[in-house]
Amino acid sequence: MAGEAQRRSEWPLALSVIVAAAGLVILTFYDWRNGILLFAGGVLLAGLLRAALGDDAAGLLHVRSRMFDAALLLGVGATILLLGLIVPS
């Protein structure tokens, strides 16, 4: 039973990693700007999920306090997004 509950709590990290990995694939093989934007979306998604979910439900997204984790992930995601938008082609 504990293993099943633990697996259910890892979906936020898995979803964020899938989005970020898709961004890296697009970045590598297709268009760098769209890949960066999708990668930033994965990091921002992780930040939003960490802010919205409790400590138990956040799974491996829970490292420190909810506020610290969410602020760090949202700050890094916003920075990547901003750089992806302002860097000239």
Q: Residue 84: which region, alpha, beta or left (left: phi > 0; alpha: psi -120 to 50)?
A: alpha
> Sign of the C-alpha dihedral, residues 32, 37, 43, 46?
negative
Mean pLDDT in residue range 58-71: 89
Residue 54: what pLDDT? 85
Which position has the token pair 């901003």?
82
Q: Which structural domain, as residue segments, surrounds residue 61?
A: 2-86
Is residue 26 classed as helix, strand or coil in its secondary structure? helix
Determine the residue type at 29.
F
pTM over 0.75: yes
**Tally of domains in the chain:** 1
Low-confidence winner among 1-5, 41-45, 62-66 (lowest mean pLDDT): 1-5
**Start-end of H helices in 1-89:** 2-8, 11-29, 32-52, 55-58, 66-86
